[in-house]
Structure 1
Amino acid sequence: MKNSGLLGRLAAGVADAADAGAKAVNAGAEAIKAGAKRTHQAFGGEYGETFEGNLVAEDGSYIMPDPALDEREFNEIETLAKRYEKLTSPGALAKAGKQIGEALPAPVKDLANKAGKAAKDTLNGLTEQELMANAIKAAAEGFGELEKQAAKASVSREYVISRINEGKQEEKVSSLSEICLLRAYDVAAVSANERLHHMGIALAEGGGTGAAGFWGLPANLALSMLIYFRAVQSVAMFYGYDVKDDPSELVIASEVFQSALAPKAKVDAASEYIGKVLVYAEAAAVKQTVKKGWSAMVEQGGAALAIAQIRALAHGAARKAVENGGKKALEAGVFKKALTQIGQKMTLETVGKMVPVIGAGFGALFDTAQMKRILDFADLFYHKRFIVEKDQRARALVERSPEPPASEDPAYTGE
């Protein structure tokens, strides 16, 4: 009897251990699956995931932030204007270039000088029109392949919402449109944490194409540009601007992308308005008019008027693009147009700096530095725009019922 009891307990123990082991294996598999899912979402994948926010009251209405803008957000207006001036000042650019040069070991400098001379000789045989024309051709004929290579630079709405909800703020959102109900500095903190993701992509892309030098230069240029464009789109998404379903927002992102490459070049109305949005330091004016509504802010002029003008231009351009190519081909069309305008804004020397031609390590260095500058510019614009438009966006959201989950947002109709 004793033996049978002992055997029974032993069998039970083995069964428990097996059960625990199975649960551990299942838990591990689920963790791996969840990690893979999160990674895919970071690269643009959508799973129909829903999110539970806490910004809807018991009666089903949205909870308006009170006050709409707090003192810290008002103070950020002037801080952002100063950051923009610092970012675009000739002294800051020269200093950054000097620091990069001083950080390079002597052998690398020698290699860079030799490669730089070869690059100059090669560029002298081209015109910026020829280089950009070939890049545009590569984008037009092979956008599908470029898109595959640049897919890692795109984030999904589900990823954005999950990352926003992991922020330190108490408020949680259930859809992208609810982000406007949060504090600008909380959103900016989450967006800033995503920079390493894009910097890593630039590092990998720069190292990979840098070794190729001028072989396939137009395609490399087009790929670099598309990755930068996707990075700007991601910044827009984190501030609640849906570039995936709103063609107007995609057009605005393309204008921000172009301005980030050449901040002081104002060759069209949109780039001029973007510059005005970033230059104005008008905390007092915003504070006086925000309670009177968006129309009053626009009448006051300044950043609100510039944003209204950008939106009007983008809406017209988006409607035309959708009519010409359809929504599915929208990004390809917008990107091709952006490359054309970039070619008009930038000198050949500047375009040449966009492409890693000196070797893998040096190319990666330049791509990473360029990505940082573009992310800085995009964050400045969308952070400032978020503050200026916040009250209007929040009120418009409060006036309608809560939206469906991220995966079920209705497609933009252009109406």
Structure 2
Amino acid sequence: MSWTVREQEVFEGISNWRNDLGAYRGHDLSHTFSRWLDASFASLPESLKEEVFTKLDSGLFHLHSIIQGTHLHKDTIERLMATAQAFDERVTHVTDLKQLRIDQLHYMAVQQSGRHKIYSFLQGGVAGTGGIVAFGTDLLAITILNIRAIQFIASAYGRDVQTPYEMTLSLKLFHAATLPIRYQAEAWDELVSSLETYDLSYFFTGDDELTNEKWLEGPMKQLFKSTAISLFRKKKISNLPVVSMSIGALSNYQLTRRITDFAEKFYQYRFLMDKKTH
């Protein structure tokens, strides 16, 4: 089926965005940090590195399953369905959302990404107050928020993330979106290539690795953010650590904005490719 004028515009926007990713080379500081991280991990035994990344992968799969089992997740899906039914009363299941126009799907995805950007901003601000619990759980909390955001964007585009294929693909997408920007073009191309096996298998048949040394640069930067928060949390204005709260809030917001933007472009691309080939 051919694309509408609007769908062609969306595709061109995605193509330009992908080209910009491919042209990004990073700055000297990021390359220096990357070389330092690579050198640090090079000294570790391969068996230890494999064990660490295997446990991290397993942890992400468990987080994904736990999130799906919460009442909050189910309530959000119900609200998503109610919005979709306002557009088209024939919608009865998440996969039926693919019948809607791309601008309608974008509207629902923006609702979800907007909420999660606010949640992320608030979480970062709370962590910036220096409270032991909030500060200590910030990395876990922001990981959960961003996995949830991708799940709901996927659902907004008619993908049932409870199936093995879509679950693994959404986590691969989380991995790609949280890589340093200079690696994201290659990760995007790998995700696009993995779609070729979608119609052939109920399970994800590609490389299901979620974490590696390149990906670890992101969490390490989050730890540096925590260090900055610690340094500034005693500098208060009106008895509030405004500087550390700002660091936490803005850092988390920027991360979630980058992840949700990457995720929506991917699911828009899938929507367009499905329409073109079916």
Q: What is the TM-score with the length of structure 1 in the denominator?
A: 0.47
Report the equivalent of 1:27: none
Which structure has the greater CA radius of gyration? 1
Query: Would you say how many aligned residue pairs link Structure 1 and Structure 2?
Result: 242
Report the equivalent of 2:270: 385
Structure 1 residue 183: Cα displacement: 1.5
Q: 2:146·2:259 contact (CA, 8 Å) conserved in 1?
A: yes
> Which residue identity lines up with residue 160 of structure 2 in the other structure?
D
Between the aligned partners of 1:306 and 1:134, the Cα distance in structure 2 is 21
Report the equivalent of 1:255: 172
Between the aligned partners of 1:259 and 1:377, the Cα distance in structure 2 is 9
Between the aligned partners of 1:260 and 1:137, the Cα distance in structure 2 is 16
Any unmatched runs of 5+ in structure 1?
1-66, 95-119, 278-304, 319-333, 396-415
Between the aligned partners of 1:214 and 1:89, the Cα distance in structure 2 is 41
Match of 1:351 among 219, 225, 237: 219
Between the aligned partners of 1:243 and 1:88, the Cα distance in structure 2 is 28
Q: 1:203·1:367 contact (CA, 8 Å) conserved in 2?
A: yes
Between the aligned partners of 1:218 and 1:207, the Cα distance in structure 2 is 13
Superposed, 1:210-229 pairs within 5 Å as 210-212=128-130, 219-229=137-147
Q: 1:187·1:239 contact (CA, 8 Å) conserved in 2?
A: yes
Between the aligned partners of 1:140 and 1:247, the Cα distance in structure 2 is 16
3-state SS of 1:380 partner: helix
Q: Could you give the per-residue CA deviations for residues 27-53 of structure 1, whole angstroms, max 9, x where no partner exists?
A: xxxxxxxxxxxxxxxxxxxxxxxxxxx
Identical aligned residues as a percent: 19
Structure 1 residue 84: Cα displacement: 3.3
Q: 1:206·1:365 contact (CA, 8 Å) conserved in 2?
A: yes
Structure 1 residue 140: Cα displacement: 4.3
Q: 1:152·1:201 contact (CA, 8 Å) conserved in 2?
A: no
Match of 2:80 among 156, 160, 175: 160
Structure 1 residue 73: Cα displacement: 1.4
Report the equivalent of 2:108: 190
Structure 1 residue 377: Cα displacement: 0.2
Structure 1 residue 390: Cα displacement: 2.6
Q: Could you give the per-residue CA deviations for residues 169-203 of structure 1, whole angstroms, max 9, x where no partner exists?
A: 56752221211112222211221233221111111
Structure 1 residue 133: Cα displacement: 4.1
Q: Could you give the per-residue CA deviations for residues 267-299 of structure 1, whole angstroms, max 9, x where no partner exists?
A: 99x75422xx4xxxxxxxxxxxxxxxxxxxxxx
Superposed, 1:290-309 pairs within 5 Å as 307-309=195-197
Q: What is the TM-score with the length of structure 2 in the denominator?
A: 0.67
> Which residue identity lines up with residue 117 of structure 2 in the other structure?
M
Structure 1 residue 135: Cα displacement: 11
> Which residue identity lines up with residue 90 of structure 1 in the other structure?
Y
Does 2:253 align with 1:365? no
Task: Give the RMSD, CA atoms, in angstroms.
Answer: 4.5
Q: Could you give the per-residue CA deviations for residues 73-127 of structure 1, whole angstroms, max 9, x where no partner exists?
A: 1332122211333466538x88xxxxxxxxxxxxxxxxxxxxxxxxx9xx99xx5
